[in-house]
């Protein structure tokens, strides 16, 4: 795990990775901006139906607060969704540098599958976190219980997403990939936890999806190498 993390950090200077970081960051910010603008116009319309004075100013203030909260709490969901769209480019860059033989055998899953996997990831993230919301609220009184529960749930989800986006290049089926290219529950949880923690750190969170995808690539391929050695 540590070696995979260090190798992933080292490859952040790769021109292909830098280009992808900027692309993912730009699209993520555009999506969040669209959300903010859409929220403003919706609130402005709703407030215009009332007798509220300065409805436009109130709508702008409320939209700013809502968007800021969305950036804090939904950045992980949006970033992973965008990452799925460009996941093949990231994994290909890591494979080309560290696992060239595997890179030659890989078949790019395409953007359509990436979008499908991204939407599935968003659905799982929203669904499971909503289900866990009562637990989060109940644990607020403990001070630390709610964050632990939150990171635990999201580590499990992110670990699975990252594993599947690597395997999809080689099995071309996300469901089959999850069954045949598993890297072990503990390893997968550790991968997801590191990525989830990085996503919670301001500024570093812009790099977190890239680091997570690169780590997943190393962990998946090294797991495959171990399996091949054991079978021989």
Could you give the CA distance from residue 69 to residue 72 in angstroms, rounded to a whole number?
Answer: 5
At residue 148 the predicted structure's pLDDT band, cuts being 50, 70 and 90, is very high
Gap between the Cα atoms of 8 and 201, Å rounded? 17
The two structure tokens encoding residue 113: 């599958």
Q: Does the pLDDT at position 177 exceed 50?
A: no
How many angstroms separate the Cα of 7 from the Cα of each of 130, 159, 191? 35, 18, 14
pLDDT of residue 180: 55
pLDDT at position 230: 66
**Close Cβ partners of 27 (under 8 Å, ≥ 6 residues apart):** 82, 85
From residue 14, give the alpha-carbon distance in Å to each of 19, 96, 102, 148: 9, 12, 19, 34
pLDDT band at residue 176, thresholds of 50, 70 and 90? very low
Domain ranges of the chain: 2-231
Q: What is the pLDDT of residue 175?
A: 47
- For the segment 63-90, the average pLDDT, to the nearest whole number, is 77
pLDDT of residue 54: 72
Q: Is the pLDDT of residue 179 over 60?
A: no
Q: What is the per-residue pLDDT for 228?
A: 67
Alpha-helical segments (H) within the chain: 2-10, 15-48, 55-98, 100-105, 110-138, 145-171, 174-180, 185-199, 208-231
Secondary structure class of 92 (helix, strand, coil): helix
Average pLDDT value for the chain: 82
Instruction: Determine the pLDDT at residue 192.
Output: 92
pLDDT at site 178: 46
97-130 pLDDT, tens digit per residue, is 888 887 787 777 777 777 787 788 888 888 998 9
Question: How far is the first Cα of the chain from the last one, in angstroms, to the nearest whole number?
Answer: 24
Q: What is the residue whose two structure tokens read 């590191």? A: 194
| pLDDT higher at 59 or 149 | 149
Distances (CA, A) of 141 to 20, 73, 90, 177: 41, 20, 41, 40
Higher pLDDT, 197 or 181: 197
For residue 1, pLDDT over 50 is answered with yes
* 3-17, 36-50, 77-91, 131-145: the lowest-pLDDT one: 77-91
Of 87, 151, 180, nearest to 95 (Cα)?
A: 87
Return the DSSP state at 200. Answer: T
């Amino acid at each position: 795990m540590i070696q995979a993390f260090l190798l992933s950090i080292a490859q952040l200077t790769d021109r292909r990775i830098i280009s992808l970081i900027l692309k993912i960051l730009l699209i993520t910010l555009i999506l969040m901006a669209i959300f903010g603008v859409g929220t403003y116009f919706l609130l402005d319309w709703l407030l215009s139906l009332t007798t509220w004075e300065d409805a436009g100013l109130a709508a702008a203030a409320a939209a700013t607060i809502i968007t800021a909260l969305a950036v804090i709490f939904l950045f992980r969901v949006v970033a992973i969704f965008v990452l799925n769209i460009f996941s093949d480019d990231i994994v290909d860059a890591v494979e080309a540098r560290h696992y060239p033989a595997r890179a030659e055998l890989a078949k790019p899953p395409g953007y359509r599958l990436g979008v499908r996997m991204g939407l599935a990831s968003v659905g799982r993230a929203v669904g499971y976190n909503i289900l866990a919301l009562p637990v989060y609220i109940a644990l607020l009184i403990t001070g630390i219980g709610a964050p632990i529960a939150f990171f635990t749930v999201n580590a499990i989800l992110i670990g699975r997403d990252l594993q599947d986006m690597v395997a999809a290049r080689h099995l071309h089926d996300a469901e089959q990939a999850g069954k045949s290219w598993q890297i072990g529950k503990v390893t997968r949880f550790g991968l997801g936890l590191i990525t989830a923690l990085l996503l919670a750190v301001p500024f570093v969170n812009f790099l977190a999806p890239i680091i997570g995808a690169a780590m997943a690539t190393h962990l998946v391929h090294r797991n495959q190498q171990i399996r091949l050695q054991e079978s021989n």
